[in-house]
Amino acid sequence: MGQITDILKVDHGGEYALVINVKTTPREFSSILKQSRKEIREYLKSIGEMPSGVSFVGFYIWDDKAIEAIVGYPVKNRIQGKGLLKLFEIPPGLRVFAFHQGPYDSMGETYNKLEQWVADNGYKIVLPAYEYFYNSPKFPQELLLTKIEMVIAASESDV
């Protein structure tokens, strides 16, 4: 199906998240993502807390050889991390996003449309780019719902 909403620009207020830093390969990413989410949920449960939103990944690098990202859940409070679990502050600022419905490997077209919007409107992309997962791979691939969000700033020529 692909992009299912308009591209919207918002002024994000910032929030806290409990995250795990991930450095891996595309081949291993799915299993590491699953394990990281599980570790975070179990830790939150063990301290009597719960996420304040859906799981997400913030990508710093994604190519055919390497992925560097954070995997996390937003949290309401400044929660003390443990081991690989770290408190992360998602900073406030401008974002552009759209929702994508369908398999994860089909999100390229939605990313391209967001990147084109950013260029056409005089902004530049600031990493990381976030993906918020509103359901899981347990659902049929055509029903997967993902919010793709890019942090943006005025382009250098506009400053």
> Structurally, what CATH architecture does the domain formed by 2-158 represent?
Alpha-Beta Barrel (3.20)
Burial class (CB in 10 A: 0-12, 13-18, 19+), 40: buried
Please state the pTM of the whole predicted model: 0.93
pLDDT in tens, 122-151: 999 999 999 999 998 899 999 999 999 999
Which segments of the chain are extended strands (E)?
Answer: 2-3, 8-12, 15-24, 56-62, 67-75, 85-90, 93-101, 123-133, 145-154
pLDDT in tens, 24-79: 999 999 999 999 999 999 999 999 999 999 999 999 999 999 999 999 999 999 99
C-alpha to C-alpha distance for 12 and 10, rounded to whole angstroms: 6
Q: Where are the alpha helices (DSSP H) in the chain?
A: 26-46, 108-120
